[in-house]
Amino acid sequence: MSEVLPLKISSKDNPKFKTLLSLMESKGRKRTGLFLVEGIREIERALASGYHLDHWTVADTEKGDDAIGIISRLTSAQCYSLSQPLFKLLAYRDEAVNAVAAFQIEQKSIQEISLPENPLVIVLDGLEKPGNLGAILRSCDAAGADAVLITRPQTDLFNPNLIRSSLGCFFSQQIACGTEDDVFQFLSERNIQIFSTYFEDAIDAFVPNYRLGTAFVMGGEAFGISEFWVKNNTHKIFVPMRGIADSLNVSTCTAVLLYEAIRQRR
């Protein structure tokens, strides 16, 4: 594709800029059906994953020119050049980011998730912090998890902080939201063993065999997993700790379990 000629925007009252700024809030994303992606690498990964780019922006700087040279070879979507003060309002990492893009929101249903034999699945139940979810997606990508299923979501899946903290790994994962019943049925129908992180009457997480199809249920930061997962005869596990801390960050705990599973599978 040939390099595009961006349209310049220098006023906060510009309707296109107002729309872009609204995407930082959940209601703006719901109204427009769009979400923000920061950074050339992240935009490239979104495009490679099949997400539809609606339009994109760069700062009216030399770095912005560099971004135009890269991204315009991948898409014919309209580009806007923002004055530096406007771009700083839009880009959280304004010193490191050369471009910010608006993509169309696309969400998979549980039944659209495709799994291989003996899959490795992460279930996130009631997670609240988008930064933790983004970090978990990075671990899932690194460990080669096959799907991330979300129940009782407490944060918008297309929150810019989630997308940003995943460093583009949001686009490498199969992600779907569903009810606890739907996710439990989906896993049970596929004979996937379910391990819920829980302290009471739980066993050491390094004891079970994870070579078979396995799902780890990780609970929210404040209250952990819901009673649903305890009552439905899932295997309860805990990660042993030797210090004074009574819990691990959920993203850290997820990484530990993922790597124990792939260690066993090597």
Tell me the pLDDT tens digit for each residue of 113-157. 999 999 999 999 999 999 999 999 999 999 999 999 999 999 899
By percentage, how much of the chain surpasses pLDDT 90? 77
* Res 3: pLDDT: 56
By percentage, how much of the chain surpasses pLDDT 70? 97
Average pLDDT over the chain, rounded to whole? 92
Q: How far apart are CA 240 and CA 205, in angstroms?
A: 8
* Res 94: pLDDT: 59
203-204, strands of its sheet edge to edge:
175-177, 147-151, 120-125, 214-219, 193-197, 235-238, 203-204
Best mean pLDDT range from 19-23, 58-62, 197-201, 217-221? 19-23
* Res 77: pLDDT: 92
Measured in whole angstroms, the distance separating CA 11 from the mean position of its chain's CA atoms is 32
* Res 96: pLDDT: 65
* Res 134: pLDDT: 96
Contact 28, 18 (CB under 8 A): no
- At 175-192, the pLDDT tens digits run 999 999 999 999 999 999
Q: How far apart are CA 124 and CA 131, in angstroms?
A: 13
Q: How far apart are CA 62 and CA 213, in angstroms?
A: 50
CATH topology (fold) of 110-265: Alpha/beta knot (3.40.1280)
Domain with CATH 3.40.1280.10 in the chain: 110-265
* Res 63: pLDDT: 75
Which CATH architecture best describes the domain 7-104?
2-Layer Sandwich (3.30)
Domain with CATH 3.30.1330.30 in the chain: 7-104
Q: Please state which of the ranges 68-82, 86-100, 223-237 shows the lowest mean pLDDT.
A: 86-100
What element of type H or E holds 18? helix 15-22
Q: How far apart are CA 217 and CA 73, in angstroms?
A: 41
Span 53-69, average pLDDT: 87
User: DSSP labels for 171-205?
Assistant: GGS-EEE--HHHHHHHHHHTT-EEEEE-STT-EET
* Res 149: pLDDT: 98
Torsion of CA 154, 160, 164, 168, to 10 degrees: 90
- Is pLDDT at 5 greater than 90 in this prediction? no
Span 222-229, average pLDDT: 88
* Res 114: pLDDT: 96
